[in-house]
Structure formats: C-alpha cells, structure tokens
Structure 1
Amino acid sequence: MKLSFGTEVNHQPNYFLEKIWKGLMLGPGNLEGSYQDYQRRHLEKFGKCWDGDTFGEFLEPKIHTIRRDLDNEWRAGMEIQLVIHLNSTDEFQFAPILRCQSVQRIQIDYSNLINDKGPAVFINYELIDKETLVQLAINDGFATVEDFFLYFNEEFSGNLIHWTPLKY
C-alpha cells in the first residue's frame, strides 16, 4: 500500500524524505534494494537531493508514520511504498518497498481531562510518559514535541505504522 508524504509542514520544509533516507541508511533490515538508487532518481527527476552529509548533524531519522486509518487497513507484513506527490504526474516512490513491521493504535486527547498541562497521547490505549512522547515526536520526523502538537493540533485517532522493529 502507498504511504504518501508531503515535503512541507506549515509552509516550512519538513525534510521527511531526508529523515526517512537517514533511517534507511541506519537500516531497518528488510530493504529490497538500495535507498541510494532512489536518491539518485530523485535528483534526476526533481533536480535536488540530500547528499548524506549536509543534514547529517541535525536530522534525526524518521522511522514510522502516524495516519488516520478509518478502515484499519494497515497490518504487519504489508508492503509499504513510500511516495511523494501521490496521484499526480510527479508521483515518485522515494525508497525501496518496505514491510510493515507492526501497527499500534494512537490517540491524542485534547480534553484536558487526562492531562491539564496539554494534550495526552495514548499508544495501544496506554498513556505514554513525557520521555516516550519526546521520542515518538522525533521518530515521527518532528524536531520537538511542540512541533508535533502544532501538526496534530486536535483530537486524533489513528495508527502508528512501523517499518522498523521499534514499538512503544
């Protein structure tokens, strides 16, 4: 199944492709091909590409994604095609086909009934602590928890789709 990624959040570059490439460089262990080939093809198609060093010092790898999944379609073992510009003439698969390693339920609660200091985040129906929340935000491609909540700025229920063995 295709997972589409934007290249901006709030009109600012999100570097999700580069962060995913960095995660692939570190290796989830289930790649069917070389991510460098996809970087080269991206350069050929769009005229720009991460060289591996430019962002290496400040980019943390993006190793999962959070999606609304109203029909609960995602399952462990499914193929994942990571794309940008879905359903357009510029649609581009920017990484090798990956396997979904696991799926976890995620809810973000803004009611202040659970946490009067801000939103509460649950993974598989368990409230996560601040340390786990920081790691979740970074692993999902956000620089800070504040950036995570700027994006997820309302009640949310969906799935956390993993292409690495990590679970929370």
Structure 2
Amino acid sequence: MKLSFGTVIQDQPNYFIEKIWKGLTNLSDHLEKDYYQYLQRHLEKFNRSWDGDQYTEFLEPKIHTIRKDAGNLWHSGMEISMVIDIDTPEEFQFAPVLACQHIQTIAISKTENKPVQLSIDGRFLPAAELHQFAVNDGFQDAEALYAYFKDDFKGKLIHWTAFKY
C-alpha cells in the first residue's frame, strides 16, 4: 500500500525523505546503492536532488510514521511503497518497497493545564522517552511533534524497521 509523505511542515522542509533513507542505510549497507538509484531518478524527474541531500550527515533517522487508520487497513507484513505527491503527476516513489514490520496503536492526549500525554499500545511514554520518539518520527523534538498534532489523536504507528516501543 502507498504511504504518502509530505516534504514540508509549516512552510519549512522536513527532510523526511533523507531521514527515512538515513534509517534505511543504517539497517543495511546494500541499500546505499539503492539510495543513489532513487536519488538519480528524482534528479531526472524533477531536475534537482531532494532538498536535504547535502545535510544528511546531520539528520537523525526517521524509522516509523504515525497515521490515522479508521478503516484498519494497516497490518504487519503488508508492503509499503513510500511516495511523495500521491495521486498527482508528480507522484514519486522514493524508496524500495518495504515490508511493514509491525503496527502499534498511538494516542496523543492534550488536556488544558496538563502536560501532553502520548501512549503507545496503552503505555504512556515518560518524558525521557518522548524526545527520542519524536526524533524517531522525524521531528526535531517532542514540542515540534505536539505542535503538529494540534488536537487529541488516535491512530497507528507504522514500523518499517524492527524497532518497537
């Protein structure tokens, strides 16, 4: 199934493509060759490299993503095709097809005058773990994650690596 990613958040580049690739190349050296093939395809299609290619060494890997899944479509073992600009003439698959390693439930609760709470599979993450979770999802920190999710949220955490909370 296609898994669509944006390339900007609040008018700023998010470097999700590069962060995902950093996580993939950390998993396996043989994917480094694939990285250059997909980068070349992007260059040919859009006449430019992806935005943060020159900054990759400074980026932290994105190893999962958060999605609503009202239809309960996502499950372990299914194929993931990572794309940008889904269902447009500019749609581009930027990584090889991957297997979904596992799914976890996620809930973000925002109550006035209380700290934001985030739970995965019903377990509330302590403050020390929240920062790493946000980074693993491609955000700079927990505050940036919470700013993106403006309201309460329930959904799925889709993993394409073996990492699990």
Take 1:28 and 1:78, find their aligned partners in 2: how far apart are those partners?
A: 20
Task: Note the C-alpha offset of 1:50.
Answer: 4.9
CA contact (8 A) 2:42 2:50 kept: no
For the 8 Å contact 1:30–1:98, the answer to whether it is kept is no
Amino acid at match of 1:25: T
**Structure 2: unaligned runs, 5 residues or longer:** none
From the two aligned structures, give the one with the greater helix fraction: 2
TM superposition score normalised by structure 1: 0.90
Q: How many Å apart are 1:47 and its aligned residue? A: 2.1
Q: Which position in structure 2 is the counterpart of 1:34?
A: 34
Deviations 1:90-144 (A, max 9, x none): 11100000000000000000125xx82x210000011111122111100100011
- The one-letter code of the counterpart of 2:37 is D
Tell me the distance in 2 between the aligned counterparts of 1:29 and 1:100. Answer: 20
Stretches of structure 1 lacking an aligned partner (at least 5 in a row):
none
Give how far 1:56 is off: 3.0
**What residue number does 1:78 align with?**
78
2:127 paired residue number: 130
Q: Per-residue CA shift, 1:41-99, capped at 9, x if unaligned?
A: 01111122259872134200111100000111111100000000000001110000000
Separation (CA, whole Å) in 2 of partners of 1:21 and 1:65: 14
Aligned to 2:15: 15
Partner of 1:44: 44
Contact 2:18 2:53 in 1 (8 A): no
Q: Please say if residues 86 and 92 of structure 2, whose CA atoms lie closer than 8 Å, have aligned partners that are also in contact.
A: yes
Query: How high is the TM-score relative to the length of structure 2?
Result: 0.91
RMSD of aligned alpha carbons: 2.1
> In the comparison of the two structures, how many residue pairs are matched?
164
